[in-house]
Amino acid sequence: HVQLVESGGGSVQAGGSLRLSCAGSGFSTTSGCMGWFRQAPGLDHEEVAVTDSAFLDILYGDSVKGRFTVSRDIAKNTVYLQMNSLKSEDTALYYCATVEPPRWIGYSFGGYEYNYWGQGTQVTVS
């Protein structure tokens, strides 16, 4: 069955960096789109990045453009979110998500198109 497991969250000072990982099983990260979302308390899911299966089409949310970068390791079936120049407003629970059957979603408002989510990893910037 499809499973996503995030890791790499933690506490960091403003201006610092973190790299989140999303390890997939039961599906291939090369066959559909992968989304990175975050959710702060009381707010809806905000998509920070989405990639297509070929990593040719990568969209970033306006609030993270130029600071966050998505990459992947195909052999490990893992997608990464490199987060640099972190700000206090980046504090949130971060999730990765995918959709099966695979299809291109594009930028999502709220993530309602996705049907598989990881458990999330907390990022706190102070």
Residues 6+ apart with CB under 8 A from 45: 37, 38, 39, 95, 110, 111
Distance of alpha carbon 87 from alpha carbon 83, whole angstroms: 10
- Which stretches does DSSP call E strand in 1-126? 3-7, 10-12, 18-25, 34-39, 46-51, 58-60, 68-73, 78-83, 92-98, 116-117, 121-125
Instruction: List the chain pLDDT tens, one digit each, 126 residues.
Output: 999 999 999 999 999 999 999 999 999 888 889 999 999 989 999 999 999 988 889 999 999 999 999 999 999 999 999 999 999 999 999 999 999 999 999 999 989 999 999 999 999 999
| DSSP one-letter code for 42 | T
